[in-house]
Chains A and B, each alone.
Chain A
Amino acid sequence: RKEVEQDPGPFNVPEGATVAFNCTYSNSASQSFFWYRQDCRKEPKLLMSVYSSGNEDGRFTAQLNRASQYISLLIRDSKLSDSATYLCVVNYNFNKFYFGSGTKLNVKP
């Protein structure tokens, strides 16, 4: 069983749409949670950390549900530049990071 599961997509949406990604994790002792963005053939870059209280950064909102072991990312008013693969990442015991296989987003004009 994978530590972190994500829908691979692709999600094909028009500009301006709202899109939501979800992921689940298996280790209830996981401590920190993140969304990373990866452009084609490039290195992953941190998009945002995810907190139990929910957090927002501009058009991006992340939520964590520890009871259900579920993480979400909501993107509002999608831009062409949002096209990328979004990686759900879980940190366990500070040293170990587990990555989902990513959800691909294509934003169309």
Chain B
Amino acid sequence: EAQVTQNPRYLITVTGKKLTVTCSQNMNHEYMSWYRQDPGLGLRQIYYSMNVEVTDKGDVPEGYKVSRKEKRNFPLILESPSPNQTSLYFCASRPSDRGDTGELFFGEGSRLTVL
């Protein structure tokens, strides 16, 4: 089954404790991206990656890091989480063929709470 898998789905942590949210896709997509969703603000792009070893900032990259060492994986790293990073996080992927429909395939989301 084609899918994007995120882990953990739910996490409560404390300020300053480094954490990683993993994202893996089995569709051989070149493009992957991370979003956070907050009430009233919609989804906002954190980082995206066009392919292995190619990453770039989205609109809200502060406090986050990413890496793309393999095509299928795109982990989101919070080196020193703060309460304002409490949010619902989505990973998404899509093929890079510019002729495609533009459909983003989303993971099920990771709800993060930073105390």
Quick one: CB contact mask for A1-23 with B, threshold 8 Å, 1 for yes? 01010001000000000000000
- Decide yes or no: A95 and B41 within 8 Å by CB, A42-B108, A49-B101 being known contacts: no
* In the complex with contacts A94-B98, A99-B42, A43-B108 CB distance below 8 A: yes
Query: Which residue of A2, A4, A49 contacts B102 across the interface (Cβ within 8 Å)?
Result: A49
Of A42, A46, A96, A102, the residue contacting B101 (CB under 8 A) is A46
Number of interface residues of B (CB under 8 A): 24
Is A87's beta carbon under 8 Å from chain B? yes
Determine how close the nearest CB of chain B comes to the CB of A31; give it in whole angstroms. 9
In which size bucket is the chain A interface?
20 to 34
Q: Is A69 an interface residue (CB 8 A)?
A: no
* Complex: chain A residue closest to B31, CB-CB: A95
B58 is an interface residue with CB less than 8 A from chain A: yes
| Complex partner residue of B43 from A8, A44, A91, A95, CB under 8 angstroms | A44
- Chain-A contact segment, one of B12-20, B21-29, B44-52, B68-76: B44-52
Asked if A43 and B106 make an inter-chain contact with CB atoms under 8 angstroms apart, the answer reads yes
Chain B residues with CB under 8 Å of A25's CB are none
